[in-house]
Structure 1
Amino acid sequence: MPEQAAEPRYRWVIVAAAAVMLAVTMGQLVSGLSVFFLPLEREFGWARGDIALINTAGLVGLAAGGILLGRAADRWGIRWICLAGGAVLGLCILAASQAEALWQLYLLFLVGGAFGGAAFFAPLLALVGNWFATGAGMALGIASAGQALGQGTIPVIAAVAIEAFGWRGALALLGAGTLALLLPLSLLARDPPPRTGGAGGGAAGLHGILPHRTVVIVLSAAVLCCCTLMAVPLMHLVPLMQDRALSASESAGVMFAILAAGILGRLVFGKLADMVGAIPAYMTASLWQTAMVFGFTQLDGLGSFYLYGLAYGFGYSGVMTGVLTTTTALTAPARRAGAMGIVTAFAFLAHGFGGFLGGRLYDITGGYTLAFAAAAAFGIANLAIVGGLYLHIRRGGTPVPA
């Protein structure tokens, strides 16, 4: 197996480095701001909705920058993209520690997402897939588990730092830590050696069945639906539980359990993709998420939320792994980072939309029943899109030039 003989050990260095870098970047840009709400509100008197837009700016930056930097990584290679991105993100977080106005935080997080975090997400996940001729699913599961771990641990680290040093000191510590970790780890990133056979990246037998543009369009439409669903419980499960007379700390504990179960789920669904194929694994996780999401509205009591949340978290987390493995399977290595950038851009935009939709439907109805029902409807649409893709491939779609 010549594909596996070329530097077989170094590919796991790539996976480990990617997992840590994704933990650092996504942990800060996706969920790290959550513990800064009260300190910023107390010092400046800003509304929480306005503070939340800092996080939105970072996600918009991730979405827009992912398209640009994914293509840049395909053209110029991964190492310089990561080095530049690590420097930008670290410096933006450091600068945020000195902010005096809300617009400054909007701008810094927008730039940090667009030219910092975006340099890592799509390019690194494409790189991991490119290093694995077989077994890419498990490798991608491990790398994406790093993201989940970061989303759970960065807020805890930031909370401890805020108590010790205040919010400015916490941001300064995070910025310095970002530079200290991302810059040396970026030096480990490099493209895999040329392969002597196969398509590489676990894509053998799939990429080329559909035109590259069609793959990107279909998967972008799918993630718009699945990530809109995903965002509703991620953003609104805590207030739903608080409406059921559970405390903030109890509700946060359930969310932490869901994210912890998600780490295991990403690994398992990555392995499942290696066993049964990327698209069937993606469909399984999507069905799991869709079938369970509305059930949160029928629960009452901390124990039931914990048990149900653990089961949901294990399955929902496989959706993102499924997106990554399916994109890897259906795209050629030379264009994979660009495809990842576009597809994940729609995923980040859908997360923003889903959180907004859930809140707006709550405002209209005074409850979360319609919001979670709408989430399930988006899940059904995702299943229809991915199911149609799977049927086309099973029927022997006509190969096209990659």
Structure 2
Amino acid sequence: MTNSLLDSPYAWRRLALTLAIATVANVGMWAIIVVMPAVEAEFGVGRAEASLPYTLTMIGFAVGNFAIGRAVDRWGVTPVLVACGLGIAAAYGLAILSTSILMLSLAQLFVGFFTAVGFGPLIADISHWFMKRRGIAVALVASGNYISGAFWPLILAGFLAEDGWRVVYGILALATLLVVVPLAFALRRKVSDEAYATAEAASNLRAGSVGLSPRALAWLLGLAGVGCCVAMSMPQVHIVSYCVDLGYGPAVGAEMLALMLLGGVGSRIVSGLLADRLGGVRTLLIGSVLQCIALVLYLPSDALISLYVVSLVFGLSQGGIVPSYAVIVREYMPAREAGGRVGFVLMATIMGMALGGWMSGWIYDVTGSYEMAFWNGILWNGLNIAIMLWLLGRSRQQTAIQPA
């Protein structure tokens, strides 16, 4: 690939195919949220135990982003996508055969691991094909995760009510085999050494302005990612169960989740445009502050209309946070390590989601309500804001002391 293909019509066509794959590949991490009340009732477990399959899903998803990202760096995106598509379908099959919450949790670990191919690895791959519009390209591919969570639960709601969650998982396994595996072969074109060199030159200049090694910056971003995603997980993971507790039922909770995620799609697109103008750090800081405000708004809201409104506000606030990490990695770290570096930072954000999902369920079991769980999220969100402010201040300080 020559530099003329950066931001080219081919790059945009590749982005469209990548988004289609992501919309199907990512559904595994959302399906377990929608079926959580049904799983809780079938196996007769508490809220914390019912959250365990989701937690294992997110742990697998986290590790998969890092491991599969490194595999894409080594072997390219097409063979890895094919292998993971087959793995997703097999993991759904294992979940269908589950006879206990522990068996389902184990199956969800594999669902999460292979599902990860639709997130960080695809984000890293598409980032190589854009320079001027990298922010919006990354944001659009990342939106596949939210589009998946917004539309698939609504499409499958009827099957869940009539036929149960196992039939839903069978449909998802079939959809993965019919979409992800065939489309993977359309992404066989590889990135050229010239494009890598161009990206490396730009990232080296930015890295000097921060004064941190790639490893140190990765760990710092990872810590920030845990903070923001513990906060993010409270509404995303427990909104369906929260609505059931308030007497509105799981269907209303699924609608709020869909509204939240649709708002997240819009937020990711706007954040991508902002990242191309302001850079990843400032964009992430804006999103983190807005997310914290939205979490505060949940505290007095338990009426139906207000919950719909706040869920939309939350989605519009936080959607651009996670893809901003990928933009920061590509701005400050070596291009040839993009899959592994992006995967590591996103692994940390997803571990934050897993920790927060379990933690909120545990707090609910201890206190009997979700109020303290929201406050817990707000405090973790503050950690993320503090790190972004420190990083932004350090970048300015290092820039100021460097000789002209």
Q: TM-score, normalised by structure 1?
A: 0.88
Whether 1:8 aligns to 2:27 is no
How many Å apart are 1:383 and its aligned residue?
0.9
Distance verdict in 2 for CA 1:248–1:183, change over 3 Å:
closer
Matched ranges for 1:3-402 at <5 A: 3-5=3-5, 8-28=8-28, 30-37=29-36, 40=39, 49-114=48-113, 116-162=114-160, 166-189=164-187, 190-195=189-194, 198-199=198-199, 203=203, 205-207=205-207, 209=210, 210-241=212-243, 246-396=248-398
Distance verdict in 2 for CA 1:253–1:109, change over 3 Å:
closer
How many Å apart are 1:198 and its aligned residue?
2.8
* 8 Å Cα contact 1:33/1:155 also seen in 2: no
- Higher deviation after alignment, 385-394 or 102-111: 102-111
Between the aligned partners of 1:198 and 1:268, the Cα distance in structure 2 is 26
Q: How many percent identity over aligned positions?
A: 26
* 8 Å Cα contact 1:201/1:329 also seen in 2: no
Structure 2's unaligned 5+ residue stretches are none
Between the aligned partners of 2:292 and 2:348, the Cα distance in structure 1 is 19
Distance verdict in 2 for CA 1:239–1:59, change over 3 Å:
closer
Between the aligned partners of 2:238 and 2:135, the Cα distance in structure 1 is 30
- Higher deviation after alignment, 362-371 or 376-385: 362-371
Between the aligned partners of 1:247 and 1:42, the Cα distance in structure 2 is 14
Which whole-Å deviations, capped at 9, do the CAs of 1:89-121 have from their partners, x for residues lacking one?
12222343344455443333322332x223332
Between the aligned partners of 2:314 and 2:37, the Cα distance in structure 1 is 29
Q: Would you identify which runs of 4 or more consecutive aligned residues in structure 1 move more than 6 Å?
A: none
Distance verdict in 2 for CA 1:217–1:261, change over 3 Å:
same
Count of aligned positions? 396
Structure 1's unaligned 5+ residue stretches are none
* 8 Å Cα contact 2:218/2:341 also seen in 1: yes
Distance verdict in 2 for CA 1:234–1:85, change over 3 Å:
same
SS in 1 for 2:398: coil
* 8 Å Cα contact 1:33/1:55 also seen in 2: yes
How many Å apart are 1:287 and its aligned residue?
0.8
Q: CA RMSD in A?
A: 2.8
Between the aligned partners of 1:126 and 1:203, the Cα distance in structure 2 is 15
Distance verdict in 2 for CA 1:112–1:236, change over 3 Å:
closer
Between the aligned partners of 2:81 and 2:133, the Cα distance in structure 1 is 24
Between the aligned partners of 2:186 and 2:400, the Cα distance in structure 1 is 39
Distance verdict in 2 for CA 1:88–1:279, change over 3 Å:
same
Between the aligned partners of 2:265 and 2:120, the Cα distance in structure 1 is 19
How many Å apart are 1:300 and its aligned residue?
4.2
Output the amino acid matched with 1:302.
L
Output the amino acid matched with 1:371.
A
Between the aligned partners of 1:286 and 1:149, the Cα distance in structure 2 is 21
Between the aligned partners of 2:58 and 2:133, the Cα distance in structure 1 is 30
Output the amino acid matched with 2:262.
A
How many Å apart are 1:58 and its aligned residue?
2.1
Which whole-Å deviations, capped at 9, do the CAs of 1:35-73 have from their partners, x for residues lacking one?
434655666656665454333222211222322222222
How many Å apart are 1:206 and its aligned residue?
2.0
Between the aligned partners of 2:108 and 2:156, the Cα distance in structure 1 is 16
Distance verdict in 2 for CA 1:87–1:202, change over 3 Å:
farther
* 8 Å Cα contact 1:129/1:201 also seen in 2: no
Output the amino acid matched with 1:10.
Y
Distance verdict in 2 for CA 1:214–1:371, change over 3 Å:
same
Between the aligned partners of 1:40 and 1:247, the Cα distance in structure 2 is 15
- Higher deviation after alignment, 287-296 or 98-107: 98-107
* 8 Å Cα contact 1:137/1:270 also seen in 2: yes
